[in-house]
Amino acid sequence: MTRLNPKNILLVHPLGYQKEAAGRDISRLANIVPPLGLASIVSYLGREGINADIIDCYARPDSDYLIRDYLLTEKPSFIGLSCTTSSFLDGIRIAALARSLLSDIKIVFGGPHVSALKDRILEKFTVIDFVVVGEGEQTLTELIEKGNEEAHSVQGLVYRDANGEICFTGYRSKAIDLDTLPFPAYEKLAGYPDVYKLLIFNYPKAPNSSCISSRGCPYSCSYCDRSVFRRSFRYNSAEYMYEHLRYLKKHFGICHVIFYDDQFTFNRQRIEDFTRMLLDRPLGMTFNCVVRAEHIDLELLRLLKASGCWMISLGIETGDEDLLAQHRRNVNLNLLAEKIRLIKKVGIRTKGLLMIGLPGETEDSIKKTMKYVFSLPIDDINLAKFTPFPGSPVYENIHKLGEFNEDWEKMDCMHFQFIPKGMTRVQLEELFQLFYKTHFLRPKVLWNYTTMLWHSPDSWLRFILNIADFLSFAKSNKRLGCT
């Protein structure tokens, strides 16, 4: 029997598909985001005296040999895998590899997919020993410290008892105060920050990174997975945010950060305080954020601009107000348009976040969305293919709303796995391509990207270095849209 290190754990971020396809994956070429959830867990574990390391297969697709070497050399007692729906089965493959090398290793899965499905995961996938439901820092620490025999006393855990029965210990009774967490262990991410690239044309300078200053969301849209943070919404203080950015600047030379918070400006006072700190004690950094129209105004936007805000993203989803009302509350497209124009007025770039294929979608609603979006001063768009993820409210009744092929590996917002009633996959693909083509061929958009030569020269360099792959992707999508 191999002797394992009881205070050592390897955390893995799976790639989600075959490594041979990684070099052609346009999403990787355009955007590689550090796994901040794992980095936060590693930092927390380290503070509690537990050694943890990260292998990020998405950043380094040829990581199987790294995983094998680590397991055989370090002999960790646990391996943890954080998975989305599309990367889950790749996680299972890695788990099977780990078990073949170290038969006694304990295999733990976390992330939104398993948090949503809970006991159903252990029922179907016997290689998994534990599922962490919700936030991982405290639950994983307690599991490692207490071991299998006391798993029943660890909140937020799904496990098998001595009789093989699957048990859920219940949600954790108290959410983490985010200001008590150490900064993520960026230094544990091999090649950070250089191997990580923000979305092309979405930043002015490199090196850059992403950041999260809140968890959860106060809203309850039908398409959002809430299985990890449930109904909680917590955020770092302005002081913590400032120190976090200062840390990134000092230790890694980061010039630009994208805040991936769902509701960056929900608490107005903390953002006022944060921006004034940046103005009083400049860090020489810029940032992007995501906001909701109800939580911005001219005064706040001016503060954001003065403190270094470079781009603001807003969730539009659809330009059909009746369709949008079926999926989220407080729908007001006129207000949204007014706020987008206000953002541009103060000199901040704008990005619209959109979806095609929501339940209730029609060809007419897609054309309404195009008309609405093209009437606004939007610099960039992210057009996703609607995917009903486990944990989202709409998932529970999705088969009544259209045709749904629940192929987890393709549930990545880049495939139409759900087809609304009255539509076809071919129709959706054609409209998807029409939307993108129309947007990018508009003269003002073409000029906008031309200006990136001096506004974001690093983006243009990346585009030129990978131009063959970008053009190949565009051609393949045209063919796909015509099939």
pLDDT in tens, 349-386: 999 999 999 999 999 999 999 999 999 999 999 999 99
pTM: 0.93
Q: Extract the tokens encoding 455.
A: 């506004």
**Residue 87 pLDDT class (50, 70, 90 cuts):** very high
* Cα–Cα nearest to 260, from 221, 214, 294: 214
Exposure of 432 by Cβ count < 10 A (0-12 exposed, 13-18 middle, 19+ buried)? buried
Contact residues for 350 (Cβ-Cβ < 8 A; gap 6+): 311, 312, 313, 314, 340, 343, 344, 376, 377, 378, 379, 380
Model pLDDT, residue 27? 77
Model pLDDT, residue 199? 92
Give the tens place of pLDDT for each residue, 305-317: 999 999 999 999 9
**Residue 480 pLDDT class (50, 70, 90 cuts):** very low
Give the tens place of pLDDT for each residue, 184-227: 999 999 999 999 999 999 999 999 999 999 998 888 788 887 77
Q: Extract the tokens encoding 315.
A: 């969730």
Model pLDDT, residue 478? 42
Model pLDDT, residue 222? 86
Over residues 264-271, mean pLDDT: 96
Give the tens place of pLDDT for each residue, 90-116: 999 999 999 999 999 999 999 999 999
Which sign does the torsion angle of CA 459, 463, 465, 466 carry?
positive
Model pLDDT, residue 481? 34
Give the tens place of pLDDT for each residue, 56-83: 999 999 899 999 999 999 999 999 999 9
Model pLDDT, residue 226? 73
CB 353 within 8 A of CB 247: no
User: How far apart, in whole angstroms, are the C-alpha atoms of residue 274 and residue 277?
Assistant: 5
Q: Extract the tokens encoding 109.
A: 């899965």
**Residue 47 pLDDT class (50, 70, 90 cuts):** very high
Say how many C-beta atoms besides its own lie within 10 A of residue 105's C-beta: 21
* Cα–Cα nearest to 289, from 262, 253, 318: 262
Structural domains of the chain ordered from first start? 5-168 (3.40.50.280), 198-481 (3.80.30.20)
Over residues 167-174, mean pLDDT: 93
- The mean pLDDT of the chain is 92
Examine the pLDDT at 179 and tell me if it is beyond 90.
yes
Model pLDDT, residue 331? 86
